[in-house]
Chains A and B, each alone.
Chain A
Amino acid sequence: MSDHSKTLYSIQKNSWPRFGRISLLWNALQGWRLLYVAGLLAIIGEVLFTFSSPMVVKITIDSVIGTSPPAIQMPIKAVVEPLLGKNFSGGGLIPLPESAVVAGADENSQWIWRPWLRSHLWVMGLAFVCMILLQALFSFIAALCINTAAEEAAKRLRDRLYHHIQYLPYETLLRSQTGDWLQRCTSDVDTVRRFIAFEFVELFRTLTLVGFAFPIMLSLSGTLTLWGSIVMPIILGFSFFFQRIVERLFLIADEREGILSGIVQENVTGVRVVRAFARQQYELERFAKANTNVRDQVYKLITWLAFYWGFSSFLGLLQIALLLGAGLQLYTAGTITLGLLILFLTYEQQVLWPVRQFGRILADTGKTRVALGRIAELLVLEKERDLDYDIKNDSFIAQPDFSASSIEFRDVSFTYPDGTEVLKHISFTVNPGEHLAIVGPTGSGKSTLVHLLLRFYEPTDGTIFIGGRDIRTIPKKELRNRISIVLQDSFLYGKTVRENILIGYPDVGETGLIEAAKKAAFHHVALGFQDGYETMVGERGVTLSGGQRQRLALARALLRQSPILVLDDSLSAVDTETDRLIREAIGNGSQGVKNTGPATTTIIIAHRLTTLAEADTILVLEAGRITGMGSHDKLIQQPGFYQRLATLQSAVHEM
């Protein structure tokens, strides 16, 4: 049982397999896949033109200034051939200039365009700029498409995670580790975004670059290509090997950095303890040790990084030296032209940098795998079911009339997913408009009982009815909209006081807001703040005291005017006098019903005798069982928890 429940309610390592990491990525890109693919295509375009501009230089040197025939390769060939004619020797869209025709007849060996180009060298410059312009254009399109797609995917992933968390069952949320989950939702998503925007693109670009460079170079000169790729495998292998070492060092450095900031955090939040025990010296030593640990680890890291970049930089230059040496020999042997040698040198430099980076980027891909797995582990958690009508049990379309409905627990038992028995055979009925109070020692199951009413949990046994209808047939959303609960530790959002009260119901007018605040004895508190209802709550605004927080949470619940109101020990920090005023205002006081509308059915968990005594029925809960039920007058006669409590509390009043 407990193992099973664990897998249901908390994050399991490596629980993602049925969630395919690639499909997670693919899914995030939904709607932007075409754009992304367009971006990748633009990369291909960019790479093609990366090879084109050096070609212009080569032609200028070899065939315009020199006398070799132009050996124009793809992709320029595709553009230029229709313009200049087959083999670039006329007959294309651009008519040969007169001078070319004349000169061409004279010298058979030279390129037919050469004389004209020699006197119009700026044309070659223009061609060069055009090539770069096209390369730039593609690069711009690629960056635009890819980044847009990546940001959209990240947004989609963030929204999806947030949505998923919002709809997780109560139990799962109770077990959530906020820090760890937050990291999955923020930095892990960012890792994935960077993968889509940079790493994958860089890998793709490098492969395209090498994929195109190799055939082009091979077609120009096989020997030179061989010389030009001798050191490359060594660089590549070295960068892989090196990444393995460095990744581990990085991890340790991160860990130590975490320890360091943990120490600062504890020192700052625990400053009272540090000072009260005069432990400054001890703390300084603790910090100095951690600080030095970080430093030493980063040193180690830097030593490796320096070695890597130094050596790979040497290897890269060595590669160029070899290419240059071989090129010189080949040139003097007449195998290649000067322009070709320069072309090779340029290509080599274009390929070298991505290859040197390859190992690092591949290592980063590993991080993405981990991040995707961590995100999937969160998404694999099951969402809460039966929130809406359309899910199941649609047979009962008519909404139950909550305001005129009794609440009945019929032999309800509940065991927590981890096997702890909490409630045993609970049966009771609350009539419409009645007030039920629940009392009992800490841990007796009071909160769980009201949680069952809202279907945060489902009973393991027995049935709960509202208006005679099994609540399992009422969609949770409907149920929770009609039952206002104030939790023991209500959360206040980092918004204004007004937004906090109106949350979920922004259309309620000023009167409704103030009425609810007044009933909860919070109106004068709000007016006391610097900006009244517009005051920010939380870190960036006022800090509310326990009692103020509880009253704000109550105002929020009262604003909904639900037919059923549940207070889970939520006036404990409010003083007795205010407590009495509040209960009177919400029609639960001894003065009787003040409300004009249909009376609210109320369930209050409390341990104040004054609160308890005023309820129509008091339910005493001990260790998950009902040990007493009835009015104050009745219970006070029976020996037990309630009587003890009443005696103790009233004894002093009579002093």
Chain B
Amino acid sequence: MAEHKEFEEKEYSTQFNMTIWKKILQYGRSLYPVIGVLIVIMIGVAVLDGIFPQMTRYAIDTLIPAYNSPGYTRRVASFILNYGLLALLQGFNVWALIMVAGIIEVRLCHALRKAAFERLQQLSFSYYDRTPAGWIIARMTSDAQKLGDTIAWGIVDLVWGATMMLTIIIFMIVMHPLLASVTLLFVPPLLMVTFWFQKKILETQRKSRKANSLVTGVFNEGLQGARTSKALSIEPHNCRDFAVKTEHLRDYAIRAAKLSALYLPLVMVLASIGAAIALGTGGRYLLQGLISFGTLVAFINYAMMFFDPAREVARVLSEFQAAQASAERLVGLIETAPEIIDKPGAVADSLIHGEVLLDHVTFRYSPQGPWIFKDFSLHIPAGQTLAVVGETGCGKSTLVNVICRFYEPESGTILIDGLDYRERTQYWLHSQLGYVLQTPLLFSGTVRENIRYGRLDATEEDIITAARDANALDFIEKLEHGLDTLVGEGGALLSVGQKQLISIARALVANPRIIILDEATSSVDTETEMLIQGAITRLLAGRTSIVIAHRLSTIRQADRIILLDKGKIIEDGNHASLMNLHGAYWKLYTQQFLDEASYLEASGA
């Protein structure tokens, strides 16, 4: 329970953490000049936005009074031309800002994903064991995206908003300092209201998002558990439960909507007070001849323009704060150190012969955790088929984990062909290892691609041979596109039995010297079961094989069986000798394997 807590969504950091942002920007180092360009463009956009009311002012104050002077029409024409040119310039600016900000967003997201994925390929199994897959996927997809988005468009809105406010203030002061100081009185309360609301709005939105993901979870459960609910006849109970969850979501969502609904009118009124002051006071100045018509109009325009940039700045700042959690999580992933790394000078020199020796191995999953193996020794001669049996938690899977070097022993050594495997690279071992999983996992793509996964340079002939040896060719040929049939995500379009056969073919095409087989317990129909057993027999022949066995036939065929209990070998021998002992193996066999196996045999005979 405790280890899951750290993965609970932490969405908000109150402290602004500069180091995290620096680290994130490290991945966009090549983008620094581009960011500089973006800032310049945004300043340009904001200044131009501020200049357009000045153009109107010029028209009113300078052009109009000269209407009966010679060349008036020409002046108007050149004014319109200039206005048009400025419009063109602004259009170009907008184009450039979207291009540049887009490039930053995309490249940063691309770089972050790349760095994170590369790290994922190096991370040790211990990381995967304690990290839920969904958590990792969320970091890779939504967090990376959110960061690219927040940084690129955050810069846009922040620079624009700040420059715009500054431009407005400067123009106002230049036009008439006194009127400016009166008009701008509304700015401090506007900023205060804006910042308070943006923070609140973000907070409630977060709450409603959380309620939303809860609803999604319950929907998911409602779908997956619908048949069980039906059997238990608890549909009304479920519906009531669900209605409570959607009520929460609705309430949070309405609360967030209320805040937003309140904010905009409020700042509009605040801004209008500024404009009203400009109108009242400015109008008086106008009558007194202190300012021109154009200036009055510009003041009113500027006052009403002010709240837009203010809102943008406040929004971006709170978004940065929210995105910081994403940044922390992603940086956390990228900076996780892999626990197993190749020694400097590790070699990948030879072909594996297949002898495995565990010499006084001790192992536990975490420094505080319980010991799985203490002083464990086991010698597997090359070519031997070893079946490992025992109750859940006896150390079967751990044995496979350390032999495959998914984990390394705390003390003691594992020697392959007489040499400590830490003297070789991980690639050396894994490229000569075959691994067939309890729950067969295929990758989306064609059947051929999945088999070729075992050996990338396998020829068409190799693939067909492997498929045939795995008893998979018959059903593959019956598929609509044969070997080119798509298997769907995770192999979802195939049956469990078919997936198992293909995963055996995948191991066969690799032609490894050592094979690890984690047998499935799931029941497939009798016919498929026979096919799988035949395929397994061919897979294990002539290779060093370590089998976590669940099938009677596999156990019987094994050269040697070891029975594990709490990390110790308590019985060691072949089937006949162990049955004669009438000990723990006999008991396990009669209690666990027999029912399943004889049932299958009775069905199939």
**Stretch touching chain B among A72-80, A304-312, A410-418:** A304-312
Given the interface pairs A121-B283, A272-B437, the reply to whether A267 lies near B120 with Cβ below 8 Å is yes
- Residues of B near A291 (CB, < 8 A) are 110, 113-114, 117
Chain B contacts for A310, CB-based, 8 A: 91-96, 98
| Contacting residues of chain A (100-154) with chain B, CB-CB under 8 angstroms | 118, 121-122, 124-126, 128-129, 131-133, 135-137, 139-140, 143-144, 147-148, 151-152, 154
- Whether A441 contacts B526 by the Cβ 8 Å rule is yes
Q: Are B136 and A264 in contact (CB under 8 A)?
A: yes
Residues of B within 8 A of A577 (CB): 591
Interface size on B, residues (CB 8 A): 157
**Contact assessment for B60 and A302 in the assembled complex, using a CB-CB cutoff below 8 Å:** no
Taking CB atoms, residues of chain B closer than 8 Å to A324 are 55-56, 59, 80, 83
Q: Is B237 in contact with A132, judged by CB distance below 8 angstroms? A: no
B81-108 at interface with A (beta carbon < 8 Å):
83-84, 86-88, 90-99, 102-103, 105-107
A129 contacts across to B, CB distance below 8 A = 269, 272-273, 276
Closest to A131 in B: B272
Which of A10-18, A167-175, A510-518 contacts the other chain?
A: A167-175
A522 and B435 CA atoms in complex are apart in Å by 35
A644 part of interface (Cβ distance < 8 Å): yes
Residue of A nearest to B89 (CB): A314
Residues of B within 8 A of A176 (CB): 223, 226
Closest to A257 in B: B141
**A557, B284: Cα distance in complex, Å:** 85
Once bound together, how far apart are the Cα atoms of A299 and B101, in whole Å? 11
- Per the CB 8 Å criterion, the residue count for chain A at the interface is 153
A-contacting 9-mer, from B173-181, B256-264, B319-327, B473-481: B256-264
Q: Mark A581-613, 1 if CB is under 8 A from B, else 0.
A: 000000000000000000000000001110000
Q: Mark B453-476, 1 if CB is under 8 A from A, else 0.
A: 110100000000000000000000
Contact between chains at B84 and A284 (CB < 8 Å): no
Q: How far is the CA of A93 from the CA of B598 in the complex (A)?
A: 103
Contact flag A272-B435 (CB < 8 Å), given A124-B283, A278-B426: yes
Expressed in whole angstroms, the Cα–Cα distance for A118 and B296 within the complex equals 15
A504 within 8 A of B: yes
Asked whether any CB of chain A lies closer than 8 Å to the CB of B595, the reply is yes
Interface residues of A in 325-347 (CB under 8 A from B): 325, 328-329, 331-332, 338, 342, 345
Q: Are B235 and A282 in contact (CB-based, < 8 A)?
A: no
> How far apart are the CA atoms of A477 and B217 in the complex, in Å?
26
Are A262 and B433 in contact, CB atoms less than 8 angstroms apart?
no
CB atoms of B103 and A135 under 8 A apart: no
Stretch at the interface among B13-21, B245-253, B355-363: B245-253
Q: Is B495 at the interface (CB under 8 A from chain A)?
A: no
Knowing A151-B253, A284-B118, A332-B67, say if A128 contacts B275 (CB, 8 Å). Answer: yes
Cβ contact of A132, chosen from B68, B272, B431, cutoff 8 A? B272
Residues from chain A with a CB closer than 8 A to the CB of B444 are 262, 266
Tell me, yes or no, whether A443 is within 8 Å of chain B by CB.
yes
Given A317-B91, A441-B526, A485-B231, does the pair A261, B435 have CB atoms closer than 8 Å?
no
Answer yes or no: A558 CB below 8 A from chain B CBs.
Answer: no
A118, A137, A162 pick with most chain B CB within 10 angstroms: A162
Q: Is the Cβ of A480 less than 8 Å from the Cβ of B406? A: no
- Interface contact B87-A314, CB-CB below 8 Å: yes
Give complex CA distance A279, B218 in Å. Answer: 37
A-binding segment of B125-133, B159-167, B378-386, B414-422: B125-133
A181 CB–B CB distance under 8 Å: yes
A288 in contact with B114 given A303-B99, A338-B293 (CB within 8 Å): yes
- Which B residues from 106 to 148 make CB contacts under 8 A with A? 106-107, 109-110, 113-114, 117-118, 120-122, 125, 128, 132-133, 136-137, 140-141
Query: In the complex, are the beta carbons of A309 and B98 less than 8 A apart?
Result: yes
Contact between A494 and B227, CB atoms less than 8 A apart: no
User: Which of A137, A273, A443, A480 is the one whose CB lies under 8 Å from B437?
Assistant: A273
Interface residue B74 (Cβ < 8 Å from any Cβ of A) = no
Check if A182 is an interface residue, CB within 8 A of chain B: yes
Q: Which residue of the partner chain A has the closest CB to B234?
A: A504
Q: Does A4 contact B (CB under 8 A)?
A: no
| Cβ of A99 under 8 Å from chain B | no
For A310, the closest partner residue in chain B by CB is B95
B283 touches A644 (CB 8 A): no
> Which residue of B has the minimal Cβ distance to A327?
B59
Q: In the complex where A329-B76, A645-B599 touch, is A276 in contact with B430 (Cβ < 8 A)?
A: yes
Give a binary string over B222-234; 1 marks a CB under 8 Å from any A CB, 0 the rest: 1111111111111
> Residue B196 at the A interface, CB < 8 A?
no
Question: CB < 8 Å: which of B109, B220, B231, B433 contacts A276?
Answer: B433
Residue numbers in B under 8 Å from A167 (CB-CB): 235
Q: At the interface, yes or no: B594 with Cβ under 8 Å from chain A?
A: yes
Is B233's CB under 8 angstroms from A480's CB? yes
- Contacts of B591 on A, CB cut-off 8 Å? 575-577
Partner of A309, one of B95, B114, B243, B271: B95
| Chain A, 180-213, CB within 8 A of any chain B CB | 181-182, 185-186, 197
List chain A residues, Cβ under 8 A from B217: 494
B351 at the interface (CB under 8 A from A): no
Distance in angstroms from B507 CB to nearest chain A CB is 9
Of B94, B220, B510, the contact of A182 (CB 8 Å cutoff)? B220
Contact status B98-A65, CB under 8 Å: no
Binds B, one of A365-373, A393-401, A425-433, A528-536: A528-536
Q: Is the CB of B526 within 8 A of A442?
A: yes
Given contacts A167-B235, A310-B92, A556-B232, contact A154 B250 (CB under 8 A): yes
- Tell yes or no: A487 within 8 A of B by CB: yes
Report which of B233, B262, B426 forms a contact with A481, defined as CB distance below 8 A: B233
Q: Is the CB of A317 within 8 A of B253?
A: no
Inter-chain CA distance A605–B26, complex, in Å, is 62
Query: Judging by beta carbons under 8 Å apart, are B246 and A125 in contact?
Result: no
Residue from the set B120, B137, B226 with the largest chain A CB neighbour count within 10 Å = B226
Partner of A338, one of B64, B110, B235: B64
A278 touches B427 (CB 8 A): yes
Residues on A with beta carbons closer than 8 Å to the beta carbon of B221: 491, 493-494
- Does B486 reach chain A (CB closer than 8 Å)? no
B235 near A166 with CB under 8 A, answer yes
Contact in complex: B595, A607 (CB < 8 Å):
yes
For chain B, residues 572 to 605, give those with C-beta under 8 angstroms from any C-beta of chain A: 579, 586, 589-592, 594-599, 601-605
Structural contact, A302 and B219, CB atoms closer than 8 A? no
- Whether A306 touches B98, Cβ cut-off 8 Å, given contacts A162-B239, A163-B239, A503-B237, is yes
Q: Does B524 lie at the interface of the complex (its beta carbon under 8 Å from any beta carbon of A)?
A: yes
Residue among A283, A311, A503 with the most chain B CB within 10 A? Answer: A503
Q: How far is the CB of A213 from chain B (nearest CB, A)?
A: 18
CB distance from B80 to the nearest CB of A (A): 4
Q: Is A649 an interface residue (CB 8 A)?
A: yes
Question: Please, which residues of chain A bring their CB within 8 A of the CB of B122?
Answer: 280
Residues of A within 8 A of B484 (CB): none
Q: Knowing A174-B227, A287-B117, A493-B225 touch, does A648 contact B280 (C-beta < 8 A)?
A: no
Q: Mark B484-495, 1 if CB is under 8 A from A, else 0.
A: 000001100000
Q: Tell me, yes or no, whether B537 is within 8 Å of chain A by CB.
A: no
A541 part of interface (Cβ distance < 8 Å):
yes
Supplied contacts A165-B222, A298-B106, A541-B1, 11 more A-B pairs, CB within 8 Å: A136-B268, A147-B257, A166-B229, A277-B431, A277-B506, A284-B117, A298-B105, A302-B99, A307-B95, A504-B237, A641-B602
Q: Which 7 residue pairs spanning A and B have beta carbons closest together? A: A314-B91, A310-B95, A302-B102, A136-B265, A317-B87, A276-B435, A143-B261
Some 13 contacts from A to B, beta carbons below 8 A apart, are: A129-B272, A147-B254, A151-B253, A152-B250, A185-B219, A277-B453, A314-B88, A503-B237, A504-B237, A641-B603, A644-B602, A649-B595, A652-B579
